[in-house]
Structure 1
């Protein structure tokens, strides 16, 4: 009987420990994804910046409503643009991941905007909210794009 009780107690302790890990560490890992830095990309590609693809560009920094910096690049079309495309990256990625697509779009006559979402790349922020705050950040980028590019945006 003592062995059975000890085994039940061991299983309960194990389940409590696993639950604590899932309830405490899990959300931290989800809300603070590992940032892919320039160093991470440098190990995998030589394309780290628009200039590496001979693209014209302008750096920009916008503030979120919470005061975090959003850092990005505007890559203007060489002639009258066919439109403007804003490239958004995935979780843990950065604007660097969109450079090959930006090159292709630019060659087809589009303005291209790439930026690091909050808590990604060179942008500020502590938590990734999977769209809750990011939708407002994207709207800020769209508004700034229209302002800087005018009718071409």
Structure 2
């Protein structure tokens, strides 16, 4: 096989991989936007950050999808443990920011997490995120899907 042909094939594969990576990032960002909304809902109604039954259902469903896609289920399990671990941590952070002030002590110094200033809080609330940014990312992703991946 000629070196220029190998280089061309490698370039084509790498462009496809780059496109898939970009799609994964946008999908992951959208997933976290949705799970942040779930976290906000859980915080509002004082539900626990972890839903073990839901996690088990997800792991089983995703393992089945991995098998259908002929993907190693152990890879999917590790990836989803990372993602779900981050989701739970974010849910806990959201809950901490929305914890009700103790009824017998309205002093903000007694519950500092509840009274963080918006500037010191590193993460914006999901409902405060700019819709145009989300729409822009979704629009870019939709365009990418319409254009399709480079042919290999």
Would you tell me which structure has more helix in proportion to its own residues? 2
Would you tell me which structure has more strand in proportion to its own residues? 1
The answer to which structure, 1 or 2, has the higher relative contact order (CA under 8 A, 6+ apart) is 2
TM-score (norm 2): 0.31
TM-score (norm 1): 0.31
